[in-house]
Amino acid sequence: MIRVVLPAHLRALAHVDGEVQLEVTGPVTQRSVLEALEARYPMLRGTIRDHTTQQRRPWLRFFACQEDLSHEPPDAPLPEAVATGTEPYLVVGAIAGG
Amino acid sequence: MSKVRVLVGTRKGAFILTSDGKRENWDVSGPHFAGWEMYHLKGSPVEPNRLYASQSSGWSGQVMQRSNDGGKTWETVGNKFTYDGVPGTHQWYDGTPHPWEFKRVWHLEPSLTDPDTVYAGVEDAALFISKDGGQNWEELSGLRGHGSGPHWQPGAGGMCLHTIILDPSNPSRMFIAISAAGAFRTDDSGKTWKPINHGLRSQYIPDPTAEVGHCVHHIAMHPSRPGVLFMQKHWDVMRTDNAGDSWQEVSGNLPTDFGFAIDVHAHEPDTIYVVPIKSDSEHFPLEGKLRVYRSRTGGNEWEPLTKGLPQSNCYVNVLRDAMAVDALDKCGVYFGTTGGQVYASADAGDTWAPIVRDLPAVLSVEVQTLS
């Protein structure tokens, strides 16, 4: 079970409270986690990754295990602690606006 | 008895204001989509409880919402806006080529005949259509593919397609406006487009009478007279009597002819409203007095409407999509400000009162008259 923490405005959009728990088949990577997330919550398509390029939206970051994974290749394996559900995968909104 | 529903888009959510036909007491619902920029909400003229809304944020991009019960509940619909073919380039602020990039939906215009058909005007400027209630969007690329497209340049607010007007007498005819390219017309349902900027004069561009490049802020039309359009340009209030083939200035005695909003009385096609703003560098009313100006002669002769509006220390702006009218008798006129007030007049502008005073900055106001 993969645990995903979304920023508040995306939790509201997806109508969820707290963490999201996902089953991911195959290798646990950023791409596979985000695809599972978007399959469960289609309203999130385009809000985390660009529809066409699949690039991370610039004002969002991906963290896990106290590391910034935003610039890691999307098909690189996520840390074991994320794959086992010990640690969550965090989608974080940039602090912006002064 | 008739009812009025006012759809308000703000920087931090949407609000729905409702009243009976007297328009004295208002219920306020919201914020809907709290924290998101709500550029525009609009209802279908043929199925008024079908609403469409543009929801966006710098963090998470564009989301589209649809309601089938007048805004009580909402569902997300398609948010994939892909330019047709190779997007190409337009001009950037420094004159260099810049790739077309989708940023947000500025304006939604539901079809006059089909509740599932809706047009979207977007930044970077393009026109999209959905024929399935907003689930899927397709670009009407004849507009962006018009020969002048590579020369379009953004205005200070971005290169946005902000105005879409459907001709009720001719389903093939549509008008749009882009900042800062100008106004365009199609007579074949969006396949081909013609710039309609003859008569506009803009001192801030190298050729003041160029075919494209004018910063059109908004256009309004009375449905009974679709060949007559009124335009608030960056500077100048303009009028055409031949569907945009040529324009004449009708600023007349306005104290300043800069502004954003313009609209037409629901029952008097020659009665129009603007909110003069001091200048392009000072986006607030002259002398701190918030005044709507009304012309009953189709322009040139204007009277200030001040009763109930702040006449000192008022430094708000009224944005291009933030004025609308209802269809009751007497005609109601509504506008929202960047200070978060929504003002209403139930007597065609003679007197005003705020419906709400402290919303986030208002981006858009639309009104539905419900039976």
For B280-299, write each residue's pLDDT tens digit. 999 999 999 999 999 999 99
B135 Cβ under 8 Å from any chain A Cβ: no
% of chain A exceeding 70 in pLDDT? 97
pLDDT of residue A98: 53
B77: nearest CA in chain A? A43
H or E stretch covering A36: helix A30-40
A38 in a domain, yes or no?
yes
H or E stretch covering B204: none
Whether a cis peptide bond, with omega within 30° of 0, leads into B330 is yes
Write down the residue that tokens 């999307």 correspond to. Answer: A74
**Angular region, B61: left φ>0, alpha ψ -120 to 50, beta rest:** left
How far is the C-alpha of B335 from the C-alpha of B342, rounded, in Å? Answer: 6
Banded model confidence at residue A97, pLDDT cuts 50, 70, 90: low
Within the 308-327 window of chain B, which residues sit less than 8 Å (CB to CB) from chain A?
none
B349-356: long-range contacts, CB 8 A cutoff, minimum separation 24: B349/B273, B349/B292, B349/B294, B349/B305, B350/B305, B350/B307, B351/B307, B351/B308, B352/B292, B352/B305, B352/B307, B352/B308, B352/B309, B353/B308, B355/B6, B355/B17, B355/B19, B355/B26, B355/B28, B356/B15, B356/B17, B356/B26, B356/B28
Q: Give me the total of CB pairs closer than 8 Å, taking one residue from chain A and one from chain B.
A: 46
pLDDT of residue B155: 83
Q: What CATH number did the domain enclosing A40 receive?
A: 3.10.20.30
Q: Which of B120, B98, B95, B122 is nearest to B109 (CA)?
A: B120
Residue A40's domain spans which residues? 2-93
Judge whether B364 and B323 are in contact, CB under 8 Å.
Answer: no
Which residues of A are less than 8 Å from B80 in CB distance? 45-46, 51
B59: nearest CA in chain A? A59
Q: A4 forms bridges with which residues in the sheet?
A: A20, A89
pLDDT tens digits, residue range B121-162?
999 999 999 999 999 999 999 999 888 888 898 888 889 999
Specify the CATH number for B57-354; select among 3.30.56.10, 2.130.10.10, 3.40.50.1370, 2.30.30.90: 2.130.10.10
How far is the C-alpha of B211 from the C-alpha of B244, rounded, in Å? Answer: 12
pLDDT of residue A96: 66
A10: nearest CA in chain B? B60
| Contact criterion met (CB < 8 Å) for B59 and A94 | yes
Mutate one of B11, B12, B33, B60 to test the A interface: name it (highest A CB count within 10 A): B60
- Judged by DSSP in three states, A8 sits in helix
A68 in a domain, yes or no?
yes
Q: Tally the domains of chain A.
A: 1
Of B34, B58, B80, the CB nearest to A59: B58
A98 in a domain, yes or no?
no
Pairing of strands B97-99, B104-110: unpaired
Q: How many CA atoms lie within 13 A of B64 on its CB side?
A: 25
Write down the residue that tokens 């670009």 correspond to. Answer: B139
**Angular region, B127: left φ>0, alpha ψ -120 to 50, beta rest:** beta
**Total Cβ atoms within 10 A of residue B152:** 22
Within the 78-97 window of chain A, which residues sit less than 8 Å (CB to CB) from chain B?
93-94, 96
Q: What share of chain A is helix, strand, coil (3-state, %, to 5)?
A: 25, 25, 50
How far is the C-alpha of B125 from the C-alpha of B150, rounded, in Å? Answer: 11
% of chain B exceeding 70 in pLDDT? 100
Within the 20-59 window of chain B, which residues sit less than 8 Å (CB to CB) from chain A?
33-36, 57-59
B79 Cβ under 8 Å from any chain A Cβ: yes
DSSP classification of residue B148: T
A6 in a domain, yes or no?
yes
Of B34, B36, B61, the CB nearest to A46: B61
Instruction: Provide the shortest C-alpha distance from residue A71 to chain B (in Å).
Output: 17
B12: nearest CA in chain A? A9
A61: nearest CA in chain B? B59
Instruction: Provide the shortest C-alpha distance from residue A25 to chain B (in Å).
Output: 26
| Contact criterion met (CB < 8 Å) for A48 and B60 | yes
Q: Which of B137, B224, B232 is nearest to B177 (CA)?
A: B232
| Contact criterion met (CB < 8 Å) for A9 and B80 | no
Judge whether B200 and B211 are in contact, CB under 8 Å.
Answer: no
A34 Cβ under 8 Å from any chain B Cβ: no
B163 Cβ under 8 Å from any chain A Cβ: no
pLDDT tens digits, residue range A50-81?
998 999 999 999 999 999 999 999 999 999 99
Average pLDDT over residues A19-45: 97
From first CA to last CA, the distance across chain A in angstroms is 37
How far is the C-alpha of A32 from the C-alpha of B180, rounded, in Å? Answer: 42
Judge whether B245 and B196 are in contact, CB under 8 Å.
Answer: yes
